[in-house]
Chain A
Amino acid sequence: MANSFDVIVLGGGPAGYVCAIRCAQLGLQTVVIEQEKLGGVCVNIGCIPTKALLHSAYIANLLKESKDFGVEAGEVKTDYGVAMKRSRRVADQNSKGVEFLMKKHKITVVRGTGVLQPGKKVKVGSEVYEAKKAVVIATGSRVKGIPQIGLEINKTTVISSDEALLMEKIPATLAIIGAGAVGMEFADIFHAFGVKVTIIEALPRILPLEDAEASDAVGKSYRKRGIEVIAGAKVTKATVAKDKVTLDVEAGGEKKQIVAAAVLMAAGRAVNIENVGLKECGIQLTERGFIKVDKNLQTSTAGYYAIGDVAGPPMLAHKGSREGVTVAEIIAGQKPHPIKYDNVPSVTYCHPEVASIGLTEDQCKEKKLDYVAGKFPFSASGRARGTGETEGFVKILRDKKYGEILGAHIVGGHASEIIHELAVARENEYTVEEVDLAIHAHPTMSEAIAEAALDSLGRALNV
Chain B
Amino acid sequence: MATKVHMEALSPTMEEGRLVKWTKKEGDAVKSGDTLAEVETDKAVMELVARADGQLLKVVVPAGSTVPVGNVVAWIGKPGEKVDGAGTAGAGSQTAGAGSQESGAGAAKPAVPAAAPKPAPAPAAGPRPTPPTPAPVVAQADATRVKASPLARRIAKDAGVDLKLVQGSGPGGRVIKRDVEGGATQAQPVTTPTPSSRLPTPSSRLPTPSSRLPTPGVPYEDVPLSQIRKTIAKRLAASIGPVPHFFLTTEIDMERAAEAREALNKQLGEEGGKISCNDIIIKAVALALVQHRACNAWFQDDHIRYWNEVHIGMAVAIEDGLITPVIRNADQKSLRAIGAESRELAGRARSRRLKPEEYTGATFSVSNLGMFDIDDFTAVINPPEAGIVAIGSIVAKAVPDGDRVVVRRRLRLTMSCDHRVIDGATGAVYLKTLKQMLENPLAMLL
Contact = CB atoms under 8 A, between A and B. Distances in A.
A337 interface: yes
Given A402-B158, A403-B151, A429-B177, A457 B93 contact: yes
B149 to A, nearest CB: 3
B345 interface: no
Interface stretch (A93-101, A186-194, A430-438): A430-438
Nearest to B171: A337
A412 to B, nearest CB: 27
B154 A402 contact: yes
Interface in A149-196: none
A458 interface: yes
A424 B258 CA distance: 72
A404 interface: yes
Given A401-B91, A404-B177, A431 B131 contact: no
Interface in B89-129: 90-95
Nearest to B149: A429
Given A429-B177, A431-B150, A401 B158 contact: yes
Interface in B126-157: 130-131, 149-152, 154-155
Interface in A447-463: 457-459
A286 interface: no
Given A337-B171, A402-B154, A433 B93 contact: yes
Contacts of B158: 401-402
Interface string B210-228: 0000000000000000000
A404 B151 contact: yes
Interface string B76-95: 00000000000000111111
Contacts of B150: 429-431, 433-434
A427 to B, nearest CB: 9
B151 A430 contact: yes
A434 B155 CA distance: 15
Contacts of B92: 403
Instruction: Select the residue from B93, B130, B158 with max chain A CB neighbours within 10 A.
Output: B93
Interface in B379-432: none
A403 B154 contact: yes
A154 to B, nearest CB: 50
Contact of A402 (B155, B171, B176): B155
A451 to B, nearest CB: 16
Interface residues of A, number: 16
Interface string A317-357: 00000000000000000000100000000000000000000
Contacts of B152: 429
A458 B93 CA distance: 11
A459 B129 CA distance: 11
A437 B177 CA distance: 20
Contacts of A402: 90, 151, 154-155, 158
Interface in A400-451: 400-404, 428-431, 433-434, 437
A430 B93 contact: no
A459 B155 contact: no
B73 to A, nearest CB: 21
Nearest to A434: B150
Contacts of B131: 457-459
B95 to A, nearest CB: 7
A372 to B, nearest CB: 10
B98 to A, nearest CB: 14
Interface in B161-188: 170-171, 176-177
Nearest to A457: B93
Contacts of B171: 337
Contacts of B95: 433-434, 437
Contacts of A428: 149
A458 B130 contact: yes
21 contacts: A401-B91, A402-B151, A402-B154, A402-B155, A402-B158, A403-B92, A403-B154, A404-B151, A404-B177, A428-B149, A429-B150, A429-B151, A429-B176, A430-B150, A431-B151, A431-B154, A433-B93, A433-B150, A434-B95, A457-B93, A459-B131
Interface of A: 337, 400-404, 428-431, 433-434, 437, 457-459
Given A401-B158, A434-B150, 19 more contacts: A401-B91, A402-B90, A402-B151, A402-B158, A403-B92, A403-B151, A403-B154, A404-B177, A429-B149, A429-B150, A429-B152, A429-B176, A430-B151, A431-B150, A433-B93, A433-B94, A433-B150, A434-B95, A437-B95
